[in-house]
Structure 1
């Protein structure tokens, strides 16, 4: 079996033009170089060099083997580079985020990653928190950003930004600034995201702890649809006040004054524990810097 050390000796003899020059290039003795070439010739039972000529002149079979060795050595060098260079360690990042993240900080994240890791292709997956978490466990995605409601020993979870919601509805339903108690709130239709939503799950637990039960609940896992239903006056909901300021300013939405305020939603960046030694934590660090819910929506 031919080894990479033998191939390197063979390649440099051809490149340098002599055994002596190749030995100098590889910091080896000429006898050691000659021994490696002899081992190759014994392996294939054929001469690599025409010894009737001066210098390191290849035979026909030697030329063929030289081309193959160049290809194999090149592939080896590329493998070493890819495994040692963090910028090309991953050729793609399968990133899972919820709809709200896609509508806010995701474009900035993509731009930052492209600048730092130009060889990484980002493949975004937009879905509910529950489905993204399942995809992470099954290794269908590399890294997810969702509300921090799931715990698993197989997953590393890094705290990110928190989302501050306020109670909102159409001013036609309840005038802007109207104070309400939790009991009064429960007499209205409640617009919420379903159980597959991390935020929806948090609110379900919150109202259960307060023994609050709504007369009617409309579930929707789509944030834009939830927002549209609120603007249409179909019920009260929780929305990130800092993100929908223009709709309040235009009279499409109004804030309902209620104490206690809605619970804040802490987001987390998550990846599998066995990826902790790779480049994934660097992407999490970028997410920590850019995951913000304090700007307007992109539409």
Structure 2
């Protein structure tokens, strides 16, 4: 019995799929199947019922899962206690929002490459709901998106909290205008598609105020939203620090509302029970580098 065999068994059991588990561990499916078969031969018991399409645990597999979890947690603690940080290798696939990608993410990448030069990063920039589904299926190691996500399969740690305010181009509404239901009847709301965490916050605010949102344009790009609002197409909800350069340049103006929109928390999400050193190390780096104000200067004011 080896740690690699236990690791292969653990992820196949957790993810319910040999192919997804193999992708997670950066090995071929045949390699993962071989490790599990060797473990079953060593224990002289089948660990999976292979009659169906999903990897379903047998009674022996259910018993072993708890022990395998403890063994992998012990390995992770040993590496952490001995500060074995240069051992991260292979490929990590993870998800980030557009806001993360255009703020502190470059610093995160630089730090990871400095500490773990043999680790290949494969970031996926998508909307929150899409990344949530991929993380739950085990296709990603972690995701940094608005949250927390209401899923028992995932755990989270808050990395930062952003203030959101209604914004418009000065030619559409004067800065400081206090929004009323009439303004939402007369001004289209430009917003991200329903899969975005920002759209959830916007719709929650509108529901609480019993305001019907008239959508002029729905897209999946925050930068496109900003460009549309600057062009005077409508109004939208933006993070204050993110659009500060445009406010200072007179291209956007902040609008008043009662109550103000709720802050949006950005979290590091991972699968519950994932105690791998890969996840814990990258979570720690994200915790240190997460600063959503550092990227606003990257925006070209000529947008």
Q: TM-score, normalised by structure 1?
A: 0.68
Which residue of structure 2 lines up, in the alignment, with residue 194 of structure 1? 193
Shift of the 182–111 alpha-carbon distance from structure 1 to 2, 3 Å rule, reads farther
1:86–1:279 contact (8 Å) kept in structure 2: no
Which residue of structure 2 lines up, in the alignment, with residue 97 of structure 1? 96
Which residue of structure 2 lines up, in the alignment, with residue 298 of structure 1? 298
How is 1:25-36 mapped onto 2 (pairs within 5 angstroms)? none
Deviation, structure 1 residue 284: 1.0
Cα deviations by residue, 1:93-117 (Å, 9 ceiling, x for unpaired): 2121011111111001101111221
Which residue of structure 1 lines up, in the alignment, with residue 213 of structure 2? 214
What is the DSSP-based 3-state SS (H/G/I as helix, E as strand, rest coil) of the residue aligned with 1:123?
strand
2:191–2:215 contact (8 Å) kept in structure 1: no
Stretches of structure 2 lacking an aligned partner (at least 5 in a row): 1-74
Deviation, structure 1 residue 279: 2.6
Which residue of structure 1 lines up, in the alignment, with residue 264 of structure 2? 265
Which residue of structure 2 lines up, in the alignment, with residue 61 of structure 1? none
Cα deviations by residue, 1:115-170 (Å, 9 ceiling, x for unpaired): 22122111111111111111111222111101105222221211110121111111
Deviation, structure 1 residue 92: 2.0
Deviation, structure 1 residue 232: 0.6
1-side partners of 2:185 and 2:111: how far apart? 43
- Structure number with greater Rg is 1
Larger mean Cα displacement after TM superposition, 281-290 or 99-108: 281-290
How is 1:28-67 mapped onto 2 (pairs within 5 angstroms)? none
How is 1:155-234 mapped onto 2 (pairs within 5 angstroms)? 155-234=154-233
2:206–2:213 contact (8 Å) kept in structure 1: no
Which residue of structure 2 lines up, in the alignment, with residue 27 of structure 1? none
1-side partners of 2:201 and 2:298: how far apart? 25
2-side partners of 1:183 and 1:264: how far apart? 24
What is the DSSP-based 3-state SS (H/G/I as helix, E as strand, rest coil) of the residue aligned with 1:243?
helix
2-side partners of 1:199 and 1:149: how far apart? 13
How is 1:67-78 mapped onto 2 (pairs within 5 angstroms)? none
1:168–1:238 contact (8 Å) kept in structure 2: yes
2-side partners of 1:131 and 1:216: how far apart? 21
1:241 paired with 2:240, answer: yes
Deviation, structure 1 residue 181: 2.9
What is the DSSP-based 3-state SS (H/G/I as helix, E as strand, rest coil) of the residue aligned with 1:122?
strand
1-side partners of 2:210 and 2:204: how far apart? 10
Moved beyond 4 Å, runs of 4+? 83-86
Cα deviations by residue, 1:5-53 (Å, 9 ceiling, x for unpaired): xxxxxxxxxxxxxxxxxxxxxxxxxxxxxxxxxxxxxxxxxxxxxxxxx
1-side partners of 2:177 and 2:94: how far apart? 41
Which residue of structure 2 lines up, in the alignment, with residue 119 of structure 1? 118
1:178–1:257 contact (8 Å) kept in structure 2: yes
Deviation, structure 1 residue 186: 4.5
Deviation, structure 1 residue 177: 2.0
What is the DSSP-based 3-state SS (H/G/I as helix, E as strand, rest coil) of the residue aligned with 1:160?
strand
Cα deviations by residue, 1:188-214 (Å, 9 ceiling, x for unpaired): 211111111011122212211221113
Shift of the 141–162 alpha-carbon distance from structure 1 to 2, 3 Å rule, reads same
2-side partners of 1:261 and 1:124: how far apart? 33
Shift of the 93–208 alpha-carbon distance from structure 1 to 2, 3 Å rule, reads same
1-side partners of 2:180 and 2:224: how far apart? 26
Shift of the 93–298 alpha-carbon distance from structure 1 to 2, 3 Å rule, reads farther
